[in-house]
Structure 1
Amino acid sequence: MEEFIIFLKLGFDHITDLNGYDHLLFIVALCAIYDLNDWKKVLVSITAFTVGHSITLALSVLNLVHFSTDLIEFLIPVTIMITCIGNLFLNKGKKQSAIFSLRYPTTLFFGLIHGLGFSNYLRSLLGNSNSIVSELLAFNLGLEFGQILIVLVFLLINYIFIKIIKVQKVSFVKILSAFLAGITFTLIVDKWIF
């Protein structure tokens, strides 16, 4: 049980580490279009992301998938940028429902990419361990708890801006997404592989 707690804490610390802010950027970009009333949609989105990265974490740690680390490090900020650009098209009506309908499968796919980014870190922690199931589960649960905490903090900030300060939701989403896209652009340039 002690080892389970250690990996749970490692997963939580990994996602909430400010030095790995690309993960934080993705979670905030993903949740930017939601508010507190959308908590079920947020939970589904975050869980889709966790399922995606759990799959590739497991496949990579078991050496069933091999990839270029440089390519994955480049693709992670690309996923953030795509999410931000999708947020910029948030409007009322049919366009918004189209964005929402693509949100879950896209998030699952992006989770696959992010999972590959986590995999080197987790593989180094596991070393030559024969049984990785409980460690992998604990690490992913820690990631999920950390993501939920980040989402709760973000949704409270969102609530303050939209409900208390009275910023229009569409304006808030677009300004935040443009800001996140600007930060992400520097990551893309920094990780450029072509």
Structure 2
Amino acid sequence: MKPALIEISANTTEVVEIEIRASLEALLTGINGQYRNTQEAPNSDQYDHYRAMESAELEAEFKKFMPTLLEGVELKLDGAPAELQLKELVVPPPGYTKVPRNSVIILKGRIPRETQSLTWYYPMAFGDHATRVRQVDEANNEWHWSSHQWVKEDKPTEPFMLNEVFAKPSFAQVVKTYTLGGFQHILPKGLDHILFVLGIFLLSRRLKPIALQITMFTIAHSITLAMGTLEIISISPRIVEPLVALSIAYVAIENLFSSKINRFRLPVVFGFGLLHGLGFATMLSEFGMPTDDFVAALLAFNVGVELGQLAVVLIAYFGVAYWFSSEKLYHRIVVVPASLVIGIMGMIWFVDRLAIF
């Protein structure tokens, strides 16, 4: 007995069809792939009886079995079971009865357009199976086939992702998703980047020093974010992550000894910005990039990062700095303690990341 061949078509018309090419005789008798020769099965006589039936007769017998089939198989869309029903049953004539007769069972159901993935379960009692998924957008003449998954155990397939054609996001969705992703990489998920931005902010409450540093940092990390994502440059996280932590400690410690930008501050911030950009690129590659709207996604993510940084600065300014009229008091009460905490955390992370890698 050969494995069942299963093709699942996800149509943008919100219809899903499952075409199962299998031996109805084997399903009716429970003879599966463990038998290379059906004559080895204990109920081979019953199999031979079904094998000799004409198409209409076998179809009538199998329709009695359909509730069992529908109860046994399971299609899950984003983890939720889909309701399936028989659409069509195609049974060939008997032909040469010494070889298996492959019939076609077509099931159908509904698949919402927002579905991102599907899994398929075909019980081992029905036999092993090779399954693949086709995404169909007939309106735009687009198709995409997945590779086959051959399942030889009593378990579902691994998830088939539907983002090539079926659930391919629009340009507006790409921009929204990656802008939000960039923002969230700063707030609330990017504590190391938050502390670096705060370290820059704490040097002075005046707009010009803050703007100069943020501008240098933005230019630098934008360069390496693009180069890293495009795979023009690649540096191991084993190097980047400890240095990012060290950059946090450096700007914080420098704040303890200076209240204005010296001639080394901007080049140092620029250099550290290059490191942070490589960190952003690593995260973005894990997040995944769309094929068609790659540039838009890259720019949107960068915009999200900038919005996140701006939010950190505004929160710090209006939450703390705005309420101090004395620079000396602000430096003593806010800058020194905050910079000490940030510097210590940066050094702890630096040591931890060296140990991890």
Structure 1 length-normalised TM: 0.85
Partner of 1:148: 310
1:111 aligned onto 2:273: yes
- 2:217 paired residue among 33, 36, 49: 49
Structure 1 pair 29–97 and aligned structure 2 pair: CA distance change class (3 A) = closer
Q: Is the 8 A contact 2:181 2:304 kept in 1?
A: yes
Q: Distance in 1 between matches of 2:294 and 2:270?
A: 22
Q: Distance in 1 between matches of 2:286 and 2:341?
A: 34
- 1:169 paired residue among 308, 330, 333: 330
- 2:193 paired residue among 23, 31, 47: 23
Q: Distance in 1 between matches of 2:278 and 2:197?
A: 17
Q: Distance in 1 between matches of 2:350 and 2:274?
A: 18
> Is the helix fraction higher in 1 or 2?
1
Q: Distance in 1 between matches of 2:244 and 2:295?
A: 25
Choose 1 or 2 for highest CA Rg: 2
Q: Distance in 2 between matches of 1:47 and 1:139?
A: 17
1:78-104 Cα offsets, whole Å, 9 max, x none, are: 00111012111125xxxx452xx3332
Q: Secondary structure at the match of 1:163?
A: coil
Structure 1 runs of 4+ aligned residues shifted over 6 Å read: none
Partner of 1:34: 204
Quote how far apart the aligned CAs of 1:137 are: 0.9
Quote how far apart the aligned CAs of 1:131 are: 4.7
1:116-148 Cα offsets, whole Å, 9 max, x none, are: 111121112334625522111111111101100
Q: Which runs of 5+ in 1 are unaligned?
A: none
Quote how far apart the aligned CAs of 1:14 are: 0.9
Q: Residue type matched to 1:187 in 2?
A: W
1:9-50 Cα offsets, whole Å, 9 max, x none, are: 111111112x43111110111110121xx2243233222212
Q: Distance in 1 between matches of 2:223 and 2:174?
A: 21
Quote how far apart the aligned CAs of 1:176 are: 1.5
Q: Distance in 2 between matches of 1:97 and 1:66?
A: 31
Q: Relative CO higher for 1 or 2, CA cutoff 8 Å, sep ≥ 6?
A: 1
Structure 1 pair 7–173 and aligned structure 2 pair: CA distance change class (3 A) = same
Q: Is the 8 A contact 1:90 1:170 kept in 2?
A: no
Partner of 2:132: none
The two structures, once aligned, show a CA RMSD in angstroms of: 2.1
Quote how far apart the aligned CAs of 1:5 are: 1.6
Structure 1 pair 145–168 and aligned structure 2 pair: CA distance change class (3 A) = same
Paired-residue identity, %: 32
Partner of 2:255: 87
Partner of 1:5: 176
Structure 1 pair 128–149 and aligned structure 2 pair: CA distance change class (3 A) = closer
Q: Is the 8 A contact 2:225 2:278 kept in 1?
A: yes
> Is the strand fraction higher in 1 or 2?
2
- 1:158 paired residue among 298, 318, 321: 321
1:61-82 Cα offsets, whole Å, 9 max, x none, are: 1111111111111000100111
Partner of 2:26: none
Q: Is the 8 A contact 2:174 2:293 kept in 1?
A: no
Aligned length: 183
